[in-house]
Amino acid sequence: MSALEIILNIIILICLASGLFFFFVGVVGLIRMPDVFTRMHATTKCDTMGAGLIFLGLIIWQGMSFVSLNILLILIFVWLTNPTAAHAIAKSAYKRLESGLEIEEDK
């Protein structure tokens, strides 16, 4: 194993471990936060970053290939849809609060 392969493996492990850490923090935020807005903020930010780091690690591990291009397209899709979905959920929850309806909370 050459020094370059060792460095690449270390970078891949750092990306994967960091991605898992962000996913874990997002789950903890989902459990611990008090209302829909803070829960949504915790999960969407951490999921986007966690997926980005994990997919980056997979792209580096795979090397330059067609599979890497597919992973990159999936990553771009996640980066576009995750914030958009969070915005739609937040807008719906805000309108529901504004109209006087209560948002059901798990207790």
How far apart are alpha carbons 41 and 83 in whole angstroms? 10
The two three-digit tokens of residue 56, written as one number: 């980056």
* pTM for the whole structure: 0.83
pLDDT of residue 28: 93
| Token digits of residue 42 | 């915790």
Degrees, nearest 5: CA angle 73-83-99: 150
pLDDT at 17: 97
In the three-class reduction of DSSP (H, G, I as helix; E, B as strand; rest coil), residue 106 is classed as: coil
pLDDT at 24: 95
Position 80 scores a pLDDT of 92
Please give the pLDDT value at position 91: 92
- DSSP 8-state code for residue 35: S
Predicted pLDDT at 99: 84
For residue 100, the model assigns a pLDDT of 74
Q: Any idea what DSSP says for residue 99?
A: T
Residue 41, pLDDT score? 87
* Positions of the chain with pLDDT under 50: none
